[in-house]
Structure 1
Amino acid sequence: MARFAACLPPGGHVLDIGCGGGAPIAASLTAQGFAVTGIDASAPLLGLCRERFPDGEWILGDMRQMALGRTFDGLIAWDSFFHLNHDDQRAMVPRLAAHAAPGAALMFTSGPGHGVALGRYAGEILFHASLDAREYRALLAAQDFLVTGHAVEDATCGGRTVWLARRAADGRTCGPAPDRGDA
């Protein structure tokens, strides 16, 4: 999160895609002074966001049909993007680009490699899918995103596989030199 936040201008506008109840992502970003807009398909979870973060904008909708008509300084899809099937993930990348201002940061979580996995949360079955790293890189590059960080099953993030990218603008990157490997 620190690397993502470092990519944003002070007071920048962030789109939290699949925001859920706003914790921990919207909470962290709001506390740092960023303006947060969240989109989620769950009305009860958006209700929590409205209670917790009344200054945010909370939109009921399916991320796969997201068309907000504006761009953001940062986009984050933490523990949400990987609930989409492979084809929906592929189709989402141009949608993400349509909402990314020049130089915008993009952070999302995926699985560690191509595949599908079923998990459980509170007794419910959860679907997870992931493309392989090369395909994510190609999809992002086709939309003018440069991958600046990719950590597979990062122990500092609860074992999540995390991607950080920057939309082309003026050649700036977020943090260390761009990551061009397939780690």
Structure 2
Amino acid sequence: MANANSDLSADKKIVQDGYDKMAEKYDDWTREEPRFRKHYTEILIKNLPANATVLEIGCGAGAPVLEMFANSGAKVLANDISTAMIELAKKRCPDATFMPGDMTALDIAPSSLHAVAAFFSIIHLPREEQPGMLSKIHGWLADGGMTAFTLACMDASEIRSTFFGQDMFWSSFDVKSSKAMVQAAGFQILEAEVLEDGKDRDPDDPDHGVQFLWILAKKPEAVA
């Protein structure tokens, strides 16, 4: 396995710079109401075999998902495009193996992972790179391995706005197309639900009124 080191596109540079600048503020915010992340991470952990290896893509500052993986006893790998986020996560999960940089450039051995979490990270890729990213995750997972991740719900090749005062980039397919993309990557969808993570938060919260598609999927067992 190698770290992801590659020249970043302008869109990815926006994402990297934005999270570098907001790292501590974002860390405080993500720990306020992480119920859906915890729920899906608990499912992944419950289904891990002994001596499992897991990966979080977009680990942020390490809470709550990376901490949960670390506490499960699994070997933990962690990726984020933001150097500032990685530095915070290292303090929280010092035994994890950190692989900073562009998620699409990660070099991970085929069939070497047992679970992959990617909450609110794949949506930061340009839309044309999302199908390939899902195919990479499928290739990294062992047969029967599981993944949980979030996608957005709108048909938008480019979403630009501010997030905690910083310029930010996202992209998205609609729900039907997103599900088809997941299946085309070879996954069996176990759960797919549209949830509003911030509905109980203040109306000024960045996620208030925003819905995301939460996916739990499995790499099918190989046919003998």
User: Shorter-chain TM-score category?
Assistant: 0.7 to 0.9
Structure 2 distance, partners of 1:133, 1:78, is: 16
- Larger helix proportion of the pair: 2
Alignment-derived partner of residue 54 in structure 2: 14
Alignment-derived partner of residue 6 in structure 2: none
Alignment-derived partner of residue 22 in structure 2: none
Q: Which moved more, 1:35-44 or 1:132-141?
A: 132-141
Code of the aligned partner of 1:134:
K
Gap change, CA 1:52 and 1:94, over 3 Å in 2: same
Structure 1 distance, partners of 2:48, 2:198, is: 22
Q: Give the counterpart of 1:132 among 155, 174, 197.
A: 174
1:79 aligns with 2:120: yes
Code of the aligned partner of 1:165:
A
Structure 1, unaligned stretches of length 5 or more? 172-183
Q: Following TM superposition, where does structure 1 have runs of at least 4 consecutive aligned residues deviating by more than 4 angstroms?
A: 154-159
Structure 1 distance, partners of 2:170, 2:92, is: 28
Alignment-derived partner of residue 143 in structure 1: 185
- Displacement after TM superposition at 1:46 (Å): 1.5
- Larger strand proportion of the pair: 1
1:26 aligns with 2:66: yes
Gap change, CA 1:156 and 1:119, over 3 Å in 2: closer
- Displacement after TM superposition at 1:10 (Å): 4.4
TM-score normalised per structure 2: 0.68
Alignment-derived partner of residue 153 in structure 2: 112
Instruction: Report percent identity of matched pairs.
Output: 25
Q: Which has the larger radius of gyration?
A: 2
Code of the aligned partner of 1:38:
A
- Alpha-carbon RMSD: 2.4
- Displacement after TM superposition at 1:69 (Å): 2.2
1:168 aligns with 2:220: yes
1:102 aligns with 2:143: yes
- Matched positions, count: 171
SS in 2 for 1:19: coil
Code of the aligned partner of 1:137:
K
SS in 2 for 1:49: helix
Gap change, CA 1:162 and 1:119, over 3 Å in 2: farther
Structure 1 distance, partners of 2:161, 2:195, is: 16
- Displacement after TM superposition at 1:108 (Å): 0.8
Structure 2 distance, partners of 1:105, 1:44, is: 28
Structure 2 distance, partners of 1:168, 1:154, is: 29
Structure 2, unaligned stretches of length 5 or more? 1-39, 200-206
Q: Indicate conservation of the 8 Å contact 2:135/2:186, yes or no.
A: no
